Amino acid sequence: MKIACIQSDVILGKSRANFENMKSKIIEAVKENVKVIVLPELWTTGYCLEEIGLHIGDQEEIISELQLIAKSNNVTLICGSFPIARENGVTNTLIVISKTGEIVKAYDKIHLFQLMNEHHYLQAGETDGLFEINGLTAAGFVCYDLRFPEWIGAHSQKGAKVLFFVAEWPIQRMNHWETLLKARAIENQCYVVACNRVGKDLANTFGGGSMIIDPWGEVISKGSPNEEIIFGEIDPKKVDEIRGTIPIFEDRREGIYKKLQKSN
């Protein structure tokens, strides 16, 4: 399965301009016969959280246009995340669109990043990130989720063979980004596909460095700090082979883990 990650720059608060930039890059990626395209976190708006409510109305139209693009090009879109209005507030929501143009997952980011004031402007999600791509179980996560291995592991234990991460990860912590992504691949014996934005906003510079990593933690493809598209091939059979070689899921000791949790 050939996958592309599009790491784009983002103009703060300019949803339509960001969409037009991304649309051209999606069409460019489609020409390479990819099956899945992955986009970054909040790529339509950036982190303009203080005025995020002003941009909610643009997102529905953009998502509808992405559905048409997915269907007309027979490609699955891991669409990155968008600010979405819910009953209790605005969520940072990852959207997955199938190759038939259907929304097959809307995952609300459950871990809000206090360092960028997400907890002041966004509501945390409560549901899992599991979905299917052509019969393959996968899971999607948003940026800060990467730092919570127990959350990621819960999805691999439910059968996920590919873990998708969409992010706006700052350049000063790129060593954490790469180390954590490799760790999530190795400890879950999964492919990891991670798409990060590039460029700057008023307070941050973002590092790009999008990555496709195999279940041994070997890097298949890695992006630069600039706008670009990276490509990589994954083979889900390799997940089964590696899980058969080192059967960590069979060797888990859930009963003992729970005893320790109860003792605290």
Bridge partners (DSSP) of residue 81 are: 94
Q: Is 51 exposed, middle or buried (0-12, 13-18, 19+ CB in 10 A)?
A: exposed
The closest alpha carbon to 19, from 28, 8, 29, 30, belongs to 8
Q: Which amino acid is at 231?
A: F
The catalytic site residues sit at 41, 109, 143
Cα(first)–Cα(last) distance of the chain, in Å? 44
Which DSSP symbol is given to 48?
-
The closest alpha carbon to 13, from 40, 43, 38, belongs to 43
Q: Report long-range pairs for 92-95 (Cβ below 8 Å, ≥24 apart).
A: 92/41, 92/42, 92/118, 92/122, 92/142, 93/125, 94/41, 94/129, 94/140, 94/141, 94/142, 94/166, 95/63, 95/66
DSSP, collapsed to helix, strand or coil, labels residue 54 as: helix
| Contact predicate 190/215, CB 8 Å | yes
